[in-house]
Amino acid sequence: MTRPQTDSSGTAAPAVSAVVLAFRDEPWLERCVHALLASTGVDVDVVLVDNGCTDGAVERLAPTPGVVVVRPGENLGFAGGCNAGAAVASGEFLALINGDLVVEADALSELVAFAAKPGIGIAQPSIRLSDEPSRLNSDGNEVHFLGYSWCGGFGKPAETRTAPRSITSVMGAAMVLRRELWDELGGFETRYFAYHEDVELSRRCWHRGLELVNVPSAVVIHRYEFGREPRKIYLSERNRLLFVLTAYQSRTVLALPLVAVELAALAGSAVAGTTGQKVGGWWWLFRHRRWIAQRRRQLQSERVVSDAELAHLFATRLDAGNYPLPAWLEPLDALLAAYWSVARRFLTRS
């Protein structure tokens, strides 16, 4: 730790290990790490994972007191990189913080205060857009019943959120949880590589009856880039289906119009020129079908809360502020919402 801290009563401050990944060019990485180390009300160390940083920022930060560098020698993706960092973390609490994000001084202590509460799984801050910090990047992510996920509240005034509230899913860019819970969950599933691993981890908390919470008083600024990963379409679509096929109960999967939606998605990918990525995702799922069945058994065996009890968490319309729905898809979105209103009754019927 960089410096032992105590609170006003003289009690030792909570120990937090912040895992930060460095990938390619990282113009905000040094600001990110120094802001974490300057956090108040907590004792922070930073585990910096070199996932293929190309601008020398990792080397410049390596001698910094309180920083431990992990060099896996390859890009492990977001999921694998976070797992590698968490494996050497020593804090009672684990913070996952993007390298293009800067925390305010009291943000971690605010998040820890909630993550420490019984019945709370993960705490997420108010994630603000760097080009307009008065507006939200995410105040808790939304998850559609078909598995699509997006930044909740994107572009909306941050002042609209003033009180902590329950959320469906956290955004992996900034989150805090107890290290004990992380170990119990086994961290992220590395096969996700990037995208939707935070959705699965969030859902598994809900399966255990643990609430996720957004803490508006904990503020972080994010240099948000939607398309930094060139394989985003492939990974997002593949992982969405992986999530649905493993995290949902059989009754839920059978209630979904998956085949029709996948055919519509294939047509959409043809228009967008991403057919290869869409089909590639299907092929990956087919090749890994035995592992998917095994993962499904694991996730279903650990749950104590049914999908029927969690159905209210799902978004019914695709209204992502960071990725607006094309006008030609709006009728399909409305049709799916109407379908779900009926299917949900099937799920929740005793």
Residues 67 and 208 placed together within one structural domain of the fold:
yes
Mean pLDDT of the chain: 94
Residues 206 and 249 in one domain: no
pLDDT digits (tens, 9 = 90+) for 9-19: 668 999 999 99
Do residues 237 and 211 both lie within one domain? no
202 with 265, same domain? Answer: no
* Cα–Cα distances in angstroms (integers) from residue 110 to residues 44, 120, 184, 262, 321, in the given order: 14, 14, 23, 41, 27
Q: Distance between alpha carbon 191 and the CA centroid of its chain, in Å?
A: 15
Instruction: Please write the tens of the pLDDT for every residue from 162-174.
Output: 999 999 999 999 9
Considering the domain boundaries, does residue 93 fall inside one? yes
Give the rounded percent of residues in the chain with a pLDDT score beyond 70.
96
- Domain membership of residue 10 (yes or no) is no
Domain that holds residue 172: 15-222
Q: Is residue 2 part of a domain?
A: no
To which residue do tokens 């995290």 refer? 247
Share of the chain above pLDDT 90, in %: 88
Question: What's the token pair of residue 267?
Answer: 């047509």
Average pLDDT score over residue span 137-154: 97
Whether the per-residue pLDDT at 347 is higher than 90: the answer is: no
Residue 228 pLDDT: 66
Q: How far apart are the first and last CA of the chain?
A: 52
Tokens 């519509």 found at: 264
pLDDT of 3 over the 50 cut:
no
Q: What is the mean pLDDT of residues 80-85?
A: 98
What confidence score (pLDDT) does residue 4 get?
Answer: 56
* In a domain? residue 41: yes
Has residue 1 got a pLDDT over 50?
no
Give the model's pLDDT for residue 230: 74
The pLDDT of residue 9 is 61
What's the total number of domains in the chain?
2
The yes-or-no verdict on residue 187 having pLDDT over 70 is: yes
- The answer to whether residues 170 and 299 belong to one domain is no
Range with the lowest mean pLDDT among 64-73, 205-214, 269-278? 269-278
Q: Looking at residues 238-263, what average pLDDT do you find?
A: 96
Q: Is the pLDDT of residue 345 over 90?
A: no
Residues 240 and 209 in one domain: no
Domain end call among 156, 188, 222: 222
Question: What per-residue confidence (pLDDT) applies to 8?
Answer: 57
pTM: 0.94
Give yes or no for residue 159 having a pLDDT over 80. Answer: yes
4: in domain: no
Residue 286 pLDDT > 70: yes
Same domain for 180 and 251?
A: no
Residues 217 and 237 placed together within one structural domain of the fold: no
Q: What is the pLDDT of residue 323?
A: 84
Give yes or no: residues 167 and 306 share one domain: no
Burial profile 303-312: b = 16 or more Cβ within 10 angstroms, e = fewer = beeebbebbe
Between the CA of residue 308 and those of 120, 130, 200, 236, 336, what are the distances in Å? Answer: 20, 38, 17, 25, 18
Please indicate, yes or no, if residue 1 is contained in any of the structural domains.
Answer: no
Same-domain check for residues 148 and 297: no
Task: Work out the pLDDT band at 327, boundaries 50, 70, 90.
Answer: confident
If asked whether residues 179 and 252 sit together in one domain, one would say no
Evaluate whether residue 239 is within a structural domain: yes
pLDDT tier at 2 (50, 70, 90 boundaries)?
Answer: very low
Q: How far apart (Å, rounded) are the C-alpha atoms in residues 286 and 272?
A: 24
**Where does a domain end: 172, 201, 222?**
222
User: 321 pLDDT band (50/70/90 cuts)?
Assistant: confident
Model confidence at 229: pLDDT above 80: no
- Split at pLDDT 50, 70, 90, the class of 337 is very high
Q: What are phi and psi of 228, to 5 degrees?
A: -70, -35
Q: Which of 174, 190, 187 is nearest to 77 (CA)?
A: 190
Which of 166, 196, 222 terminates a domain? The answer is 222
CATH code, 160: 3.90.550.10
Does one domain contain both 90 and 188?
yes
pLDDT category, 47, cuts 50, 70, 90? very high
The mean pLDDT value for 267-295 works out to 96
CA distance linking residue 114 with residue 137, whole number of Å: 21
- 119 in a domain, yes or no? yes
- The residue-averaged pLDDT of 24-29 equals 95
Q: Tell me the average pLDDT across 88-113.
A: 98
Tokens for 195?
Answer: 């995208």
User: Is residue 226 over pLDDT 80?
Assistant: no
